[in-house]
Structure 1
């Protein structure tokens, strides 16, 4: 009996060690299985994600804004009769002379000229013309307004580089369309000194250009730059208003 006690103690001790080893082995087995399942699952998850992701495609181009003004007014009706009488006394044609155009919806022009004979005091000659250019939106080129802005900038620069022009000056024309510039210069032709005032204006997608010039014959004085600018700005405001009215 005394010999069996130590033996029983050893058996119980061994029995206590075995569950501990089994728990350790079980924990080790869970860890390895979990990491293994993660390792095995990662490629399949990536593959699934890869197969689920859509193939890259080209982004659609943003559409350009539509043109605000869809048509142009009759260029010869952009100026009122009183304005024509004031700026071009004794105009040959009160209704104006239309310019040639193959597309009046995109390009139109009209001019007036007259010689006011004052007898021994000489004669005053005046000329005014109104030009209208309308632009449409085009995906490859830009919106109608952007195209008009570019044309406006080019026209202002072009007017200031006219061959033979002297005393060229440019200044903003306030209150005319979205933006406007007045260019003044002198030009000698037909043995007379002509004084010019040109207003280039943009109203949305339309570029309006008004050129007003005059001179004096047989002793009459040439008009002042101030008078020419005042007349050109007045005409430009009427032309801009006519564009808006035609599209209202």
Structure 2
């Protein structure tokens, strides 16, 4: 088999991932994250003592799961042929709040990248609010394909072209309790300069999202 030089498009495609890793996986600037003090702001304090029976905001999950164990080996093999099932955990500034894992491989001329990230918010209500805000900003499609994942989910797809090479990406964003889950799946065919079909990428992203949400368990917050 003749050797395959790393395509320019692949280098460009991986650059954002490298930047995120070097920046300590800066979720604080991501679309799903609130301003730095959002979770710390509380209603004005009353001078009256707090009642012992006051309810604490519902929080389904205390921390993220071990991310590389959430997507099954079967799913990884189907979506990213040639990738190690163990995956690679992404760097995070606070593993008790944010964790993620990625899988990537170039098999022949076909390149695939999959990642899953989990971000725990202070309450279910806050996560719901942030999920809605991010969806409105992105103009995402919460179509039937993603509606039965988690408490709510949405799907976005994009076909990108750089230097004549196409890359198709599907992203599934899910809220489950107070956890925001994001699955990104993209791919390119460097022989044809084309990209996998929309059905291939959306179907793969949805399957990985189902695995990821199942990996959260029933909650322990």
Do they fold alike, i.e. is TM over 0.5? Answer: yes
Question: 1:232: how far off?
Answer: 0.5
Please tell me the root mean square deviation across aligned C-alpha atoms, in Å. Answer: 2.5
Alignment of 1:45-194 (within 5 A): 58=48, 63-91=55-83, 93-117=84-108, 123-136=109-122, 144-157=123-136, 159=138, 171-172=143-144, 173-189=146-162, 191-194=164-167
Superposed displacement of residue 63, structure 1: 3.6
Instruction: Number of aligned residue pairs: give it.
Output: 172
Q: 1:245 to 1:64 in 2, by over 3 A?
A: closer
Q: 2:101 and 2:138 mapped to 1: Cα distance?
A: 18
- Tell me, which stretches of 5 or more residues in structure 1 are unaligned? 1-56, 118-122, 137-143, 161-167
Match of residue 216 from structure 2 = 243
CA–CA separation in structure 1 for the residues paired with 2:116 and 2:134: 14
Higher relative contact order (CA 8 A, sep 6+): 2
Indicate the structure (1 or 2) with the bigger Cα radius of gyration: 1
Partner of 2:15: none
- CA drift at 1:65: 2.3
Contact 1:174 1:180 in 2 (8 A): yes
Mark the CA change 1:158 to 1:182 in structure 2 (over 3 Å): closer, same or farther: same
Q: Where does residue 207 of structure 1 map in the other structure?
A: 180
Q: Deviations over 1:68-116 (max 9, x none)?
A: 111221111111111101000111x431111111321210011111111
| TM-score normalised according to structure 2 size | 0.69
Task: Please list every run of at least 4 consecutive aligned residues from structure 1 whose deviation after the TM superposition is greater than 2 angstroms.
Answer: 57-66, 153-160, 168-172, 188-191, 245-248
Residue 62 of structure 2 contacts residue 220 of structure 2 at CA under 8 Å; is this kept in 1?
A: yes
TM-score, normalized by length of structure 1? 0.62
Structure 2 unmatched runs, 5+: 1-46
Q: Using the TM superposition, give the Cα deviation of residue 193 of structure 1 relative to its aligned residue in structure 2, in angstroms.
A: 1.1
Q: Are the structure 2 counterparts of residues 203 and 185 from structure 1 closer, same or farther at C-alpha, using a change threshold of 3 Å?
A: same
Q: What is the distance in 1 between the residues matched to 2:173 and 2:57? A: 24
Q: CA deviation at 1:134?
A: 0.5
